[in-house]
Chains A and B, each alone.
Chain A
Amino acid sequence: MDNAVEKKLALSHFWVAFGAFALAAVMGLYQVIERSGFFGFLESREVYYASVSTHGVLMGFVLTTFFIMGFGYYVATSSLKLPVWNKTFAWTGFAVALLGVVLAALPLLGGAASVLYTFYPPMQGHPLLYIGATLLVVGSWFWCVSMIVMYMQWKKANPDQPVPLAMFATTANAILWLWTSAGVAIEVLFQLIPLALGWIDTIDPGLSRTLFAWTLHPIVYFWLIPTYTAFYCLVPKQAGGFLFSDEMARAAFIILVVFSLPIGFHHLYMDPGISHGWKILHAIGTFVVTLPTFITGFTVIASLEIAGRLNGGKGLFGWIASLPWSNPMVLAIILALLMLIFGGFGGLVNASYAMNAMVHNTAWVPGHFHLIFGGTTVIMYFGIAYYFWPVLSGKPLFSNAMAIKQLWTWFIGMSIMTTPWHILGLLGQPRRIDSVNYNNNLLTLSWEPYEAVMIFGGAILTYSAGLLIYNLYKTQISNESYQGEIEYAEPIHAVNDLPNYLNSFKIWNIVIAVFMLIAFGYPILQHFLMETFGSSRWGV
């Protein structure tokens, strides 16, 4: 099959993703230095908050969305062996999303939209921020439609056959994202844009927060699913083995999609506008959504063990040494799992309805999500990039040794940066401060050594980001040629008699609709039933 257009499509998305990543990484280094307060001449809260807002939008929305779209297009075409459906449609989605990024970048870089990537109404940024963000989401909806159409095309041509796992996961993610993005879309279209353009004078920030919480949790699973897809479908093959269980993987993806949606109130545990009962309900759902991660940890490590033993590893732990540590994707998953253990532990603390009060909105929280998103999720994006780039560009990877070095430095930098960040949170440092101005000397003095260590972590991470971009760029401009295709892992047990509920999303969409109605129906409706007082717009 000639899939030159598909390759170009995926590669274009990846370059936008990693271009955004490179810019945001440099901003991250500036931020960790600025906030330490050790370099007085650098201090500027205007620049700092413009940088934090841009860093968040680029890492959280641009890197992820474009990476996920590019990855999805190529997984669809290579796993289903189908051309991408309606390529003009796909390119239109790319263009719309890219236009959105450019429009949002203008006020962000100019310091006119320093409301951070979570918007925080009733503070008000430049209208272009909201319009740009909306276009980015609309562009990603094109991708969702493409994925669902291709999934249906394949199912129609192959009735009663199990959909290839990688595509099953990708379709699950497209469906998840359509459900997920609805919350923030309602907030932006009915509250933020009308307020920014002066069509309405006040909004109810409690309602905004409820709608944002709808999106805020499942969005992290939208980011995570390509990582888990690589865990299950790419890594076992790269490690020289097989997938331990295809069926459990499907079950894990379904639980992720269904249960990541109705649990967003664990971001609002400390909010006055939601009563105990709703918070506890969402807390219980939050623990249900740990199950697919527990299962993934087991299945993926079992798959690695199969590979290690096939490579000649013996004994209880000997198989670990026999894994191909010099394969970027295998190294990426080993480091990703290490960070998942610690990040997951922190996540359990955050999710705990009562314990959350000790860490809420402290430095612990950015420490946590840098470890679990910037660490676990994104290091696998790197592993995927090293594997996909030669296939997509038709050129061999510039340097495998550099890739290995890059992954190690990312892991080391992330560990050095996030460990003190967590400790700062436990020592009471609030998140999102540009400098320390509290006159409580003992407490703030105790923060300083941790601030200093974080700078080293940030510097190592920036160096690592540079290695990644350099390697991908040198690969791209190489004169040599490379022929290869993406290879998917086979399960050790062939998939027979797959029940329909593990091969279709119809029933699950109904379950999600019911769960969402239960979880968010009344909490949204209450804002129209009780007397609320709107807030007018405020600058930053």
Chain B
Amino acid sequence: MHIDQLERKWAGISLGIAGLFVVLILISALFHGINAPSHVETIDSARLHLSEEFAEDKLGPELNPDGSLTVRVVAGRYGFYPKTMTLPAETNITFRWVSLDVLHGVHIPMTNMSTMIVPGYVAEVNTVLHHTGDYPLLCNEYCGMGHAHMWANIKVVSKDQWLEMYNKGEANHG
């Protein structure tokens, strides 16, 4: 068998490049906690309205005792509920997404908030929104004829401003 010296060297370099990428991914995942949404939690999508957590009056942002936020949103053809929300910048946010019908996906452009929403599963994403402003929240998985009409609005404001609103009960315009 004949393998050229140059080819041997190139194979080594390729292995090095791929290895470097793998190491970077492992470092960001294991040491910086940068992980894809992977909660593996099941839920009965047909009975969301009867569930403890995703009944209509429980949706939207909820302030936790430690200052972080839990945001619960239901996706269904063709909208996200609540339809508008105001969220604080520079705050740890746990989004919990569920579908009441088919497959959906959601992302907020220019942020790393992105997840699939699979019926039967709770999609949990932990993130921090850094910049204030108005963001759309878009369905990014084909879910039927109205897919392009499935969106909601998010307003990101400073933490102080948000707390003021939240205490007045205005953060969730559901």
Contacts and interface: CB of A to CB of B under 8 A. Distances in A.
A356 B144 contact: no
A178 to B, nearest CB: 27
Interface in A225-283: 244-245, 247-248, 268-276, 279-280, 283
A248 B107 CA distance: 42
Q: From A290, A495, A499, name the one whose CB has the most chain B CB atoms within 10 angstroms.
A: A290
Contact of A123 (B34, B140, B144): B144
Q: From A270, A431, A436, A498, name the one whose CB has the most chain B CB atoms within 10 angstroms.
A: A270
A471 interface: no
Contact of B7 (A121, A244, A270, A539): A244
A454 B36 CA distance: 31
B40 interface: yes
B119 A122 contact: yes
Nearest to A248: B7
Q: From A272, A273, A362, name the one whose CB has the most chain B CB atoms within 10 angstroms.
A: A272
Interface of B: 1-4, 6-7, 10-11, 14-15, 17-19, 21-22, 25-26, 28-29, 34-46, 97, 101-103, 105, 107, 109-110, 112, 114-124, 134-136, 138-149, 151, 153
Given A354-B28, A433-B148, A436-B148, A247 B2 contact: yes
A418 interface: no
Contacts of B110: 428
Given A273-B118, A361-B140, 4 more contacts: A114-B145, A204-B120, A362-B107, A498-B1
B75 to A, nearest CB: 12
A486 interface: no
A483 B117 CA distance: 58
Nearest to A427: B109
Given A122-B119, A496-B1, A499-B1, A357 B14 contact: no
21 contacts: A120-B141, A122-B102, A123-B103, A245-B2, A248-B11, A270-B37, A271-B38, A272-B40, A272-B41, A273-B121, A274-B38, A288-B18, A294-B14, A298-B14, A352-B25, A353-B29, A354-B34, A433-B147, A437-B148, A437-B149, A438-B136
Contacts of A291: 11, 14-15, 18
Given A280-B29, A291-B15, A120 B142 contact: yes
Contacts of B35: 276, 353-354
B138 A438 contact: yes
A362 B102 contact: no
Q: From A276, A352, A531, name the one whose CB has the most chain B CB atoms within 10 angstroms.
A: A276
Interface string A287-298: 110110011001
A80 to B, nearest CB: 22
Q: From A114, A284, A428, A435, name the one whose CB has the most chain B CB atoms within 10 angstroms.
A: A428
A270 B34 contact: no
Nearest to B30: A280
Contacts of B29: 276, 280, 353-354
Interface in A322-374: 348, 352-354, 356-358, 360-362
B3 A245 contact: yes
A272 B115 CA distance: 8
B114 A283 contact: no
B120 A206 contact: yes
Contacts of A495: 1
Q: From A432, A496, A498, name the one whose CB has the most chain B CB atoms within 10 angstroms.
A: A432
A430 B107 contact: yes
Q: From B4, B36, B109, B122, name the one whose CB has the most chain A CB atoms within 10 angstroms.
A: B36
